[in-house]
Amino acid sequence: MRLAIFCIVANNLVSIGNAQTNIPIWPDLAPGETSRETGTLQPFRANESPPVSRVTNIRLPTMDVFLPNNPNGTAVLILPGGGFGKVVPDKEGSEAAPWLNRIGIATFVLRYRTNETTPADEPPWRRPLQDAQRALRVIHSRAADWKLDENRIGVIGFSAGGHVASILHGDCEPAYEAVDSVDQHSCRPDFSLLVYPWRVLDPKTQKLWPYIQFSKSTKPAFIVHTHDDASTSIGSVEIYSQLKRLGISAELHIYENGGHGYGMRSVEGSNISDWQAAANNWLIRRGLGTE
């Protein structure tokens, strides 16, 4: 489905041009699923202005696609947050599209599966990781349709999405068996923006979880956190530290305050919204964005 839509940014409606919505990423049922439920939008909270969407019970993941008027070949898959129990597709998703489209970057917002039916012995990140890997492969497989350079497809992960993006950014293997020819394509990002990645530290060791592994072949990363985030910024510092030791290009920003879950929005009394300008410069400096 293609249509012109708008999103709310700083209390203003902003056009994000032509969008393709609700694109399924799996040819049929997602791995381990028996339902094609695309999710339930929860009631908006009265104290939030603009309102924030929270979607639960996602069994069939989909992507919303926002294409720039002047594409430069770069694409970003956005993994919103939500603690794995929900997905926040606007505040930590589509609200980034106007910025990214403006600098020529195609934007793909993934509504990955939530954990209502995840078995107790399965990590809550596993199915979102499967969906993210599959989405990257779909984007690669349709690169010509969307005018993309297959070597310039990255990810932005917010919160729980940042947890998944941290795994993706490392040396993870495919988390599911191939289902069709799409799975012949790459499931690794060419760059990553990790925005307050959630709970990436093992609380016992205070080190990254062992399934987050980097190597000399790991790609560049831009990392954002706040000092007062209860999901500690030490996780982001550990990611940066490992990349630094490996000689991988990385940029880390720790802001004094701003908390968690701000997405693309400002926070009163904080300059956390400056991260967007810093990320913008990083993307342009690396030749991924167009001034």
Pull the structure tokens for residue 156.
Answer: 């932005």
Q: What amino acid is encoded at 80 in this protein?
A: P
Spans in the chain with pLDDT lower than 50: 1-16
Give the Cα separation of 285 and 189 in Å (integer): 18
Q: Tell me what pLDDT residue 2 has.
A: 40
pTM of the predicted model as reported, rounded to 2 decimal places = 0.93
56 by Cβ neighbours in 10 Å (0-12 / 13-18 / 19+) ranks as middle
Give the Cα separation of 138 and 17 in Å (integer): 22
| Segment 132-161, tens digit of pLDDT | 999 999 999 999 999 999 999 999 999 999
Range list of H helices, the chain? 97-102, 126-141, 160-169, 234-246, 275-285
Give the Cα separation of 252 and 240 in Å (integer): 7
Pull the structure tokens for residue 274.
Answer: 């400056």
Give residue limits of the domains in the chain: 2-285
Q: Tell me what pLDDT residue 17 has.
A: 52
| Segment 75-132, tens digit of pLDDT | 999 999 999 999 999 999 999 999 999 999 999 999 999 999 999 999 999 999 999 9
- 70 contacts 148 by C-beta, under 8 angstroms: no
Q: What amino acid is encoded at 220 in this protein?
A: P
Considering the domain 2-285 in this protein, what is its CATH number? 3.40.50.1820
Q: How many CA atoms lie within 13 A of 109 on its CB side?
A: 25
Chain position carrying tokens 């990254």: 208
**Where do the DSSP E strands lie in 34-100?**
40-41, 55-56, 62-66, 75-79
Q: How many CA atoms lie within 13 A of 168 on its CB side?
A: 38
Q: Tell me what pLDDT residue 19 has.
A: 85
Q: How far is CA 270 from the centre of its chain?
A: 23
Give the Cα separation of 31 and 96 in Å (integer): 29
